[in-house]
Amino acid sequence: MIELQGSLETRQPVPLSGKFVGDLHFTQQKDVPILIIGHHILYGKCMDLEKPFAVLVKNSSSNAEESAMDTDKTPETSYKVKAIIRKKLLFKQRPKPIIANVPKKL
């Protein structure tokens, strides 16, 4: 999991799906995660979650309806634990801008 302070937005209100976020690098020495998003560079750190997260997915509704018909009671909803998240990369520092057009020395 990657945690970012703030949220990601696009300039135009277009859906985010399929869009490119950025490149994630790790430094050789200290395994510091570096995330480059557009012309921003973010330094973060890798943390163990104090309490892990369980990722829950609601079971498909068709199942719930069936069981509702079987028992004639309020439908039972169930969630499946799809994954346990134990680590996160936290980027909580202010992003640094990347200045692109510095003329290169020849």
Partner 1 sequence: MNEYPRYNWSCQGMANFCKGTFLEQELVPLGLCLNCGICIYKWPKSTCVVMEWMYLMGLARDNAAINHFEALFRSLEDINTVLEFAKLEKKDVKPVVQSVFFSPELDNESYKLLEVDESVLDSILSGKQVVIRGDEEDSAVLCTDDKTYDIKEADISNAMLIIPDLKVGKDLSNVGEQNAHITQVTSVMHNYYELRPCKPKVKKLKSLLEENKFSGMESENDESHQGQKYTFQDLLNLVQASEIEIKTALDKLQACHIEGHWRVLDFDFLSQVLNHIMRLCEENDWLTSGIPLEDCCQTLEELFPRSVLEHVVHCYGDSIKPANKTDEEEEQMEIDRITHRYVVDTKFYNLNEDKICRFFAELVLRHAGKFNFQEFLKVWEQTVPSEMKTSLHQLEGMALIDRNCKPEVIWYFPSENLPEDVGERFNFLFKTQEKWTLEEIKPYISDLTTEKMDVGALLTKYARASLQNGIKVFNSRKPVT
Which one of 41, 67, 68, 75 is in contact with partner 1 (CB under 8 A)? 41
- Give the span between the Cα atoms of 94 and 41, in whole angstroms: 9
* 81 sits near partner 1 (criterion: CB under 8 A): yes
* 61 sits near partner 1 (criterion: CB under 8 A): no
CB of 83: closest distance to partner 1 in angstroms?
7
- Of the two residues 69 and 82, which places its CB atom closer to partner 1 in the complex? 82
Nearest Cα neighbor of 6 from 92, 88, 98, 87 is 92
Which one of 63, 65, 85, 94 is in contact with partner 1 (CB under 8 A)? 85
Q: What contacts 57, CB < 8 A, 6 or more positions away?
A: 79, 80, 82
Q: Give the angle subtended at the CA of 88 by the CAs of 82 and 93, to the nearest 5°.
A: 145
**Which residue ranges make up the site for partner 1 (CB under 8 A)?**
1-8, 15-36, 39, 41, 46, 51-58, 74, 79, 81-85, 87-89, 92, 98-100
